[in-house]
Amino acid sequence: MSNKKKIWLSSPHISVESRKYVDEAFDSNWIAPVGPHIDRFEARLSELALNHSVVSLSSGTAAIHLALILLGINTNDSVLCSTLTFSASANPIKYLGANPIFIDSERESWNMCPDLLLQAIQSEINKGKKPKAIILVHLYGMPAKMNEISKIAKTYQIPIIEDAAEALGSKYNNQPLGTFSDFGIYSFNGNKIITTSSGGALVSNNKKLIDRAKFLATQARDEASHYQHSVIGYNYRISNVCAAIGLGQLDVLPHRVKRKREIFNFYKNSLSDISDITFLEEKGKCFSNYWLTTILLERNSTIDINSLRSYMLKNNIECRPLWKPMHMQPVFSDCLSYTNGVSEDLFKRGICLPSGTNMSLQDLERVVNTIREIYEA
Ligand SMILES: *Cc1c(COP(=O)(O)O)cnc(C)c1O
């Protein structure tokens, strides 16, 4: 093992601003899943999300779960979901006893392939079972083919939940991701572009639905002086302390996006002469927050992602394979999927480079030099 400092994939990057807000929360004794910092956090998020209504929650997973409940998803319903994603996109479908149907990727953005989506909808309708919702992921901050997918969803009247957990600060056609559809969700987990340690948000332009989400997220208490319940509730609200951390993080979000994009450009420029390496890049109307810089290795190269990853690890640098597609996961082995081989190919050849905004120039140079050592050996 190397005795060099560990370089992480994407570690939390807390700003001094957060401490100020957390001190306020402590001083005012709002140490609860209710309080003024939650209200301010939601107001600020709303400004970033086209003034949509916002409820902040304990996690992005909770946000997806509530969105599915609000769409009326029930036992045995089908929900279409991107296959190349983190399991949290799909797990809430199973919480409700519904069935995920996984849709493969297209090569440009690595996100849901519109052609396969259309094929899946038509063939499921032919089987007599129209899917009830679409969970569309913007992976690694890269916008999915929003125009095409929105059009298909509209034609067949199927609501979309945009999983923008990794895509806060990204835009498509200059519009923030998470605001194109019936629902958008964000995550503020420790590894995301901004963090509240753990947290998430659900956004929608339908205020009534967000009010209902708030109600469900606070144990579904009916209006009464005693505790009265007519439906099953959840304990899904964010803590006021976490929201205070989040306020400080929102202060620096523009800097984080700028820095992530600089990191991407640094890697791209520094490795451009290695023809074995290609980058996932924004195209057309896409603006990515480049949450993680991701590369693909050439198919027939002697260097594969396993040899690259273990060499980096030996040098105390963390690299990760891409998310393993959901249709390849043991837990979802009984689920339907519409595949074209793209996500499996990406999974075989793709790797995420350290992209933390708290990395120094020396850290970035160390990553680049270590990769160069492998190719120049
Ligand atoms: C992180 C993540 C989630 C879940 O968010 P949590 O806040 O960790 O529950 C969902 N989808 C994707 C694509 C993610 O990366």
Ligand 1: atom nearest CA of 198 is 7
CA–CA dist 271, 319 (Å, integer):
16
Look up the CATH number of the domain holding residue 287. 3.90.1150.10
The pLDDT assigned to 377 comes to 80
Look up the CATH number of the domain holding residue 192. 3.40.640.10
Pair (239, 315) in one structural domain: no
Average pLDDT value for the chain: 97
Q: In Å, how far are 56, 186, 313, 356, 364 from 191, measured between CA atoms? A: 18, 13, 19, 9, 18
Compute the distance from residue 270 Cα to the ligand 1 centre, in Å. Answer: 30
pLDDT digits (tens, 9 = 90+) for 277-333: 999 999 999 999 999 999 999 998 899 999 999 999 999 999 999 999 999 999 999
The pLDDT assigned to 177 comes to 98
Pair (238, 332) in one structural domain: no
pLDDT digits (tens, 9 = 90+) for 253-262: 999 999 999 9
Compute the distance from residue 280 Cα to the ligand 1 centre, in Å. Answer: 20
CA–CA dist 90, 161 (Å, integer):
12
> Which residue range is the domain that position 301 belongs to?
253-376
Pair (189, 325) in one structural domain: no
For ligand 1, pick from 136, 187, 192 the residue to mutate: most ligand atoms within 8 Å of CB. Answer: 187
Q: Residue for token digits 């120039």? A: 361
| Among candidate residues 224, 251, 278, the one where a domain is terminated | 251
Residue 167 domain-assigned (yes or no): yes
Q: pTM of this prediction?
A: 0.97
CA–CA dist 247, 244 (Å, integer):
5
Ligand 1: atom nearest CA of 166 is 15
Pair (68, 114) in one structural domain: yes
Pair (238, 344) in one structural domain: no
Residue 5 domain-assigned (yes or no): no
Residue 297 domain-assigned (yes or no): yes
| Among candidate residues 251, 284, 319, the one where a domain is terminated | 251
Pair (217, 340) in one structural domain: no
Residue 95 domain-assigned (yes or no): yes
For ligand 1, pick from 61, 138, 188, 249 the residue to mutate: most ligand atoms within 8 Å of CB. Answer: 61
| Among candidate residues 200, 231, 251, the one where a domain is terminated | 251
What's the token pair of residue 249?
Answer: 């993080």
Ligand 1, CB cutoff 6 Å, lining residues:
59-61, 85-86, 88-89, 137, 163, 165-166, 187, 189, 200
Residues in contact with 163: Cβ distance below 8 Å, sequence separation at least 6, in sequence order: 60, 64, 82, 85, 89, 135, 136, 137, 138, 185
What's the token pair of residue 346?
Answer: 């990406």
Rounded to the nearest 5 degrees, what angle is found at the Cα of 211, between the Cα atoms of 47 and 45?
Answer: 15
* Number of domains observed in the structure of the chain: 2
Residue 11 domain-assigned (yes or no): no
Q: Listing from the earlier edge strand, what are the strands of the sheet with 350-353? A: 277-279, 293-297, 350-353, 320-321
Residue 4 domain-assigned (yes or no): no
Pair (155, 277) in one structural domain: no
Q: Which residues of the chain have pLDDT under 70?
A: 1
The pLDDT assigned to 1 comes to 59
CA–CA dist 130, 121 (Å, integer):
7
Pair (271, 209) in one structural domain: no
